[in-house]
Amino acid sequence: MISEENKQFLLKLARTTLENELKNKESDITDLPEELQEPLACFVSLYKNNILCNSVGSLSKQQEVFQEVIENTISAAFKDPNYPKIKEKDLESVKIEISIIKNLKKLDFESEQDLLNQITPFTHGIIMKKQGRIATLLPSVWKQLPKKEEFLAEMCKKIGL
């Protein structure tokens, strides 16, 4: 687990990254905690007025978690052609959420009910693969879809089932 202090560090890093990108400034990272130099996969989700704008990340360890946060923040805010870019006037209303991806576990199930019995709301996310496509729902999505059936239905819709 990442300490609460380092979680706050990552959130501040993501916010500073947004601000610096909008002002064309370089990020100056000092006093980087050792724990954040470990390779970890993560997603950065941006919310505007409490509505999910975009979420970008990786499912496998690529590089140090602090660098993942920087790159995923920039991608979510400015590089996804499917979502409007964050503007300076949006900064106050943008909420940032970081999800660390770890302890992935393959679930074997025989029915929809069997799968529903294996997932825990607000704790588990789901990664589903079908014919070369991958879809992900992070644990934070439970806030919008608190019922297991809704969560699973959204995943199925997302992957094309």
pLDDT digits (tens, 9 = 90+) for 16-60: 999 999 998 887 787 888 889 999 999 999 998 888 889 999 988
- Residue type (1 letter), 98: I
In this prediction, residue 80 carries a pLDDT of: 87
In this prediction, residue 133 carries a pLDDT of: 87
As a whole number, mean pLDDT of residues 60-79 equals: 94
Q: What is the mean pLDDT of the chain?
A: 91
Please state, as a whole number, how many other Cβ atoms lie within 10 Å of the Cβ of residue 116.
Answer: 14
pLDDT score of 1 more than 80: no
In this prediction, residue 44 carries a pLDDT of: 96
**Cα atoms in the Cβ-side hemisphere of radius 13 Å centred on 80:** 19
In this prediction, residue 83 carries a pLDDT of: 87
**Distance from C-alpha of 60 to C-alpha of 127, rounded to nearest angstrom:** 12
In this prediction, residue 68 carries a pLDDT of: 95
125-146 pLDDT tens trace:
999 888 888 889 998 889 889 9
In this prediction, residue 29 carries a pLDDT of: 82
In this prediction, residue 75 carries a pLDDT of: 96
pTM here? 0.85
Helix, strand, coil percentages for the chain (3-state, nearest 5):
40, 20, 35
What would the two tokens of residue 42 be?
Answer: 């993560």
In this prediction, residue 102 carries a pLDDT of: 83
Burial track 26-64 (b if 16+ CB lie within 10 A, e otherwise): eeeeeeeeeebeeebbbbbbbbbeeebbbbbbeeeeeee
